[in-house]
């Protein structure tokens, strides 16, 4: 009897990497799992059901319960089929893990509309589509947990990832609104920013010594380290946890703050552009965030 005994969990992007590790652990903790994976390349091209089927087979081989779903989360009907499969086969849905993603990293001035739309469709719209499909069931049963994957690329920033960063920070806004809107129905919504070496993070450029050091640090952080927090958030043990942003960095779990006012200055007669330059700027400047800051600056120490 694990922490998820009797639960049904749907996990998107669960054929490989972080999603696969989440599926394996949730099944080991007693959940029946819908393993969704379209099976695309890292940039979202093609499709292949075999990664999802392999994850399902590995779960079944150890006595667990799982089914494969090969739908695209960016298609509302496909996203709905993930939840429909859970209801049809297992009779209920208790948690949704929005993990599916692709990358089309481009420096800003070279990013196309296609690159932008493809990434936003999978990450942000996909998160909306699957969550929307599960909401009526969560609302009717008076319980449910949404676990959305964000990224420090959105929370902190990164180079060459305007599409991914915008989508991932958008997911935070979506999660917060879901948590507020669904609280009276007993439904929770939280975000996780994972640090882990996977097919997606393998695309991070490593052309400078600093970037190479960052990649080597990432390689020490395995995907299985993310799964325990997901399983906890999907369980009844997390019944009081909602509207939060977590990070997992190997054996370290981080609770992120949200944007809140840090400085304020009032001019009773009103501001002019020149008075802002002369008075407000010198006051605020010591509290400005670093303009070139990335996650490696926020987490400069080796993973624990």
Which residues are identified as catalytic? 164
User: In degrees rounded to 5, what are phi and psi of residue 178?
Assistant: -60, -45
- Give whole-number Cα distances, 101 to 191, 192, 276, in Å: 15, 14, 42
Asked whether 248 and 226 are in contact (CB, 8 A), the reply is: yes
- Strand ranges inside 64-138, DSSP E: 65-69, 95-98
Neighbours of 294 (CB within 10 A): 16
**Residue the block writes with tokens 């990358």:** 103
Tokens of 255: 């609770």
Q: Are strands 245-249 and 144-149 parallel, antiparallel or unpaired?
A: unpaired
């Amino acid at each position: 009897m694990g922490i998820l005994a009797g639960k049904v969990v749907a996990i998107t992007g669960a054929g490989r990497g972080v999603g696969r590790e989440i599926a394996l652990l949730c099944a080991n903790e007693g959940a029946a799992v819908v393993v969704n994976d379209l099976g695309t390349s890292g940039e979202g091209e093609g499709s292949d059901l075999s990664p999802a089927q392999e994850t399902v087979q590995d779960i079944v081989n150890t006595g667990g319960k799982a089914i494969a779903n090969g739908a695209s989360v960016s298609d509302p009907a496909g996203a709905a089929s993930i939840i429909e499969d859970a209801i049809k086969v297992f009779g209920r849905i208790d948690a949704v893990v929005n993990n599916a993603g692709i990358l089309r990293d481009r420096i800003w001035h070279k990013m196309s509309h296609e690159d932008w739309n493809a990434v936003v469709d999978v990450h942000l719209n996909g998160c909306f589509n699957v969550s929307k499909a599960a909401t009526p069931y969560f609302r009717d049963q008076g319980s449910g947990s949404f676990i959305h994957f964000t990224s420090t690329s959105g929370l902190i920033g990164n180079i060459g990832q305007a599409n991914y960063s915008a989508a991932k920070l958008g997911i935070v806004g979506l999660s917060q609104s879901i948590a507020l809107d669904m609280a009276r129905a007993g439904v929770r919504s939280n975000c996780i920013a994972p640090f882990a070496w996977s097919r997606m993070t393998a695309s991070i450029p490593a052309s400078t010594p600093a970037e190479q050091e960052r990649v080597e640090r990432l390689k020490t952080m395995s995907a299985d380290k993310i799964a325990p927090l997901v399983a906890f958030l999907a369980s009844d043990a997390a019944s009081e946890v909602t509207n939060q942003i977590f990070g997992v960095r190997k054996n370290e779990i981080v609770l992120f703050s949200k944007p809140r006012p840090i400085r304020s200055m009032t001019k009773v007669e009103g501001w002019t552009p020149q008075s802002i330059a002369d008075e407000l700027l010198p006051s605020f400047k010591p509290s400005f965030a670093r303009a070139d800051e990335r996650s490696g600056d926020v987490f400069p120490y080796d993973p624990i």
